[in-house]
Chain A
Amino acid sequence: MKTEHDVSREMQNAFVDGELDRSDWGRIAEQLGRDESLRAEVCEIRTVKDLVRGAYAAPPQAPRLSVAGGRRWTAIAALCLVSAGAGWLLHTAFAPGVSETEAALAEGASLREVSNERVVLHVSSSRRATLQTALDDVEEVLRAAAQRGRRIEIEIVANSSGLELLRAEISPFPARIASLRAQYSNLTLVACNQTIDRLREKGVTVLLLPGVQIAPTALDQIVKRLQSGWAYVRA
């Protein structure tokens, strides 16, 4: 539509979205009072904005989400409530930087320095290098703990494309995983059932490696572990 005034479309949108400074806003507001075509155009923009809002006011929920989603989130919320003092507020106040504990762990030459540690390792990528590094780390930590006679538990939770790690005939490291399992009873492997379902919906037959357990969702499992005091590691 050809405009009869000098208020660009960008300015009209900015007016509707409250993005103008006082003087520009005043100028357009004043012009709106006497320019019918400008008024009509601004009104249309508002209408479009309202339509978009209305169209997504109540988006359809994923089948599982409506039931389990709330519970899952409540679990995360409960988990976060278990506040352990040091972290957030402190390092926000003294930003930049992370808390000493976190920094020590993040540099994390290893988990070996953490006593009585239980770790959930979340794998959500099928990148070979990522999986390789994850398994290297797991093996190193398990071996070091065994040498020192220190009890440690590691659980690998795989979802999304990371599930490939635990799939028979797909996993790039089946023999290595089998040998780790045979050697360390304190290593558990968990597959996300939601990912399995999604693959099945696409007609993919999902076979898991021997000994792999199944959790309803990766998030459920991770939250469950965090609630019991496990540390969370992302591969």
Chain B
Amino acid sequence: MSIVSSFTPRKGRNVELALVVGAVGIVLLAYLNVELATSGTIPPGTLTLVGGYLALAIGFHLVLRWRASYADPLMLPIITLLNGLGLVMIHRIDIANGKSIADGVALRQLMWTAVAMVIAAVVLIVLRDHRVLRRYTYLAGAIGFGLLLLPLFPVIGTSIYGSRIWIQLGPFSFQPGEVAKIALAIFFAGYLVQTRDALSVAGRKVLGLTLPRARDLGPILVAWLASLAVLIFERDLGSSLLFFGLFVAMLYVATERVSWIAIGLTLFCLGAYLAYLVFGHVQTRVLLWLDTFSPEALRASDQLAKGLMGMASGGMFGTGLGRGRPDLTYFAESDFIVPSFGEEIGLIGLFAIFMLYALLVQRGLRTSLGTRDGFGKLLAAGLSFSVALQCFVVVGGVTRVIPLTGLTMPFLSSGGSSLLANWTLVAILLRISDHARRPLPEANAPSPVAQARTEVVRLR
């Protein structure tokens, strides 16, 4: 390159601060909207609650200034807004269920938000360089698979509403799949960065597709079997799809071979079809998906139908926050929080929320592009893609794109484990983005080699 890049990347911390304040402002308006629509008054605790949330977000922002000053400036405002809107909606459903702020789900969710933000900040402070994580590749793999399969073990594993994806430890119930997502992304990134050369070796060519060598099929088969185990024994299509989709996507990024995607999709469809043939609960899910309003489906569950009717009642502009009846749908504050938003802020509001997620994922992928090390690239791409895939699985489930699953919407849905995992996930992305955007020390002072004149050698 003849032009030496010498600009200093903008840190964007002030932009981030302004956006965070704006995001909390939107949350405040949404909260007031709910209160005015439901009770007509502004409750006295408003300033404490919203002020507390603002303090948490600004605290996190200060941690970024301190420890990751070049981190992406959009991620924190986006998740601050999403998390805040989720809190407002959960509070709104508390009101509909006749619960006050003291005994509602929203306050617990706010506590979890605080815990999640603190843990994410600790991750940022402790994890000075994401490449450290590569050292723990196999430990992460063990933790990831362990967590994923943990609910299958007796005593601690709990089956809630048909899906065995919870573990119960005393009074705490925990959905380990969320944390497993991060651990597995670290494992896949570390593993694939080591083995990518072998895995991308060309094998036989079939129908214009260069297939990998048969002996390299081992890892994908292991991942496939594990995902099938999750599907069959935990009865959770969502986690299974998320986990396997993450693996295939990272495998593709690592090897640049489309054939891995083809193989992955084929395997997954095959596995899902076999599960459909064999297992009654999978058949019920498919019936609910394809023929939601048939009498047989409604007998099995009218949850999806209710969610769809809720969304339809919102229409283009929604009923307005606090003015719909999202509480008529079960799990309106967790699995079905997207229909709750669809009902009250309409199609337009939902689009805005989807755009926030898309923007978050795009910033993550941008981070992946900008990162110089392969491990960071893979990890950032994997984590970002997992967020996108999870959104797709959750929203696709409630809008009948795919069968309904039991996953939670990142940042929006009620649930502590989900918040912890996703804040930590974004903390890791922020750490990688800080690394990606931070100028190289040597780039500031042009190296002597760059200054030297090019010697032209005459050959003849």
Chain B associates with chain A:
no
